[in-house]
Chains A and B, each alone.
Chain A
Amino acid sequence: MPRRKGAPEVNAGSMADIAFLLLIFFLVTTTIETDAGLDRMLPPAEPPEDVDVVIKQKNIFTVNINKSGQLLVEEEIMSIQNLRKAAIAFLDNGGDGSCNYCKGRRDASSSDNPEKAIISLKNDRETKYATYITVQNELVGAYNDLRNREAQRLFGRDFTEMEGKFLNPETPSAERDDLKPKVKRIQELFPQKLSEAETSTN
């Protein structure tokens, strides 16, 4: 028998098992952490000059948070749990009848239409941040609920899901181009008008 075998071959049969073990380990342990939060837009430092727009009181939904975290909504004490419902009722009111998709009570003493409806949020300097975020979340939630309703009606899917897809850079651009007008349309149906005035100091 000739001696031409060379080095003995390494048995690589178990390599696959080891690799799979590794793969499974990483699949289980890794969590891709994406930051999430509430997006807000601050008003510009210098307000535009021609601001003498008169806003009717009935088109403003005032939310006041005091330093112990209690809410004063439209001059009435309200618990945070009810805030979303109240905000939806206000935004969806459609008092002047120009909003044909609104399903509210068309109460003449509440907002004219979603275009004009403004939510004004005021807080105290001593308010807890967590409370403030809860209120913000509920107000954004009110807008999202209404937008979801309209998106379901028009496109048969949720607005929040569409917007998330649209904003995600991993979505193929063809799909994003398709979503863009739809997202925009829904946003125009219920524009987010959330104003935050200067905080009271006392």
Chain B
Amino acid sequence: MHFKKSNPAKLPTISTTSLPDIVFILLFFFMTVTTIKNQDLLVDNKLPLANETEELTKTDRVIEIYVGRPKQEHGPTKDAMVQVQIDDRLVEINEVGHQTIIALHKMPEHLRKMAIVSIKADSKVKMGVIVDIKKQLRAINLLKINYSTIEGDVFRNLRNRF
């Protein structure tokens, strides 16, 4: 009776001043948590350094091949054979040509002729593996390759930085 009289027919208003803060906190949360998903790396991949590089600007026509020893959580032992990762899967060296063709066919048709194979090989890999991969790429007529590197002083490659 007393209360009713003092505040007649007015709905209590909810304060919305803190709403932007809440929204921004949410936004922050999502922006920091999300990463643009590239690929889960299944092999060790420490790229060599180089300074005379060219940028791979047209990413729509690139097939990425990761070369290295399988990571320990995926592979059985430390001395496992060097393997190749194409499209989230580990494949043996002698299947690279076949798997690359599969990756190539996922590309839109007009880009296939211009496809570039980006070889992301670990610096510890021996050239024999790279030579085998190159031979297979030649066999399937994918001739444009790019040895992926990190910008840096090349001579540091020669020192044992492992």
Kindly state whether residue A38 has any CB partner on chain B within 8 Å.
yes
A199 & B128 in contact (Cβ 8 Å cutoff): yes
A128 & B127 in contact (Cβ 8 Å cutoff): yes
In the assembled complex, the Cα of A173 lies from the Cα of B41 at a distance in Å of: 37
Q: Which of A9-17, A53-61, A93-101, A102-110 makes up part of the contact surface?
A: A9-17
Q: How many residues of B contact A (CB 8 A)?
A: 55
Kindly state whether residue A126 has any CB partner on chain B within 8 Å.
yes
Residue of B nearest to A132 (CB): B127
Q: Which of A112-120, A133-141, A177-185 makes up part of the contact surface?
A: A133-141
A18 & B137 in contact (Cβ 8 Å cutoff): no
Residue among A44, A130, A164 with the highest chain B CB neighbour number at 10 A: A130
> Pick the contact of B58 from A10, A128, A169 — CB < 8 Å?
A169
In the assembled complex, the Cα of A38 lies from the Cα of B145 at a distance in Å of: 8
The secondary structure that dominates the B interface is: mixed
Kindly state whether residue A49 has any CB partner on chain B within 8 Å.
no
Kindly state whether residue B155 has any CB partner on chain A within 8 Å.
yes
In the assembled complex, the Cα of A45 lies from the Cα of B134 at a distance in Å of: 10
Identify 23 residue pairs between A and B in the complex whose beta-carbon atoms are under 8 Å apart, listed by A's number: A7-B16, A10-B17, A18-B24, A34-B55, A37-B149, A38-B52, A38-B149, A39-B146, A42-B145, A80-B155, A123-B131, A131-B157, A132-B130, A133-B50, A133-B154, A134-B157, A136-B147, A137-B52, A137-B53, A160-B52, A164-B54, A168-B55, A199-B127
Q: A residues touching B (Cβ–Cβ < 8 Å)?
A: 3, 7-8, 10-12, 15, 18, 22, 26, 34-45, 69, 80-81, 123-134, 136-138, 140-141, 144, 160, 163-164, 167-170, 198-199
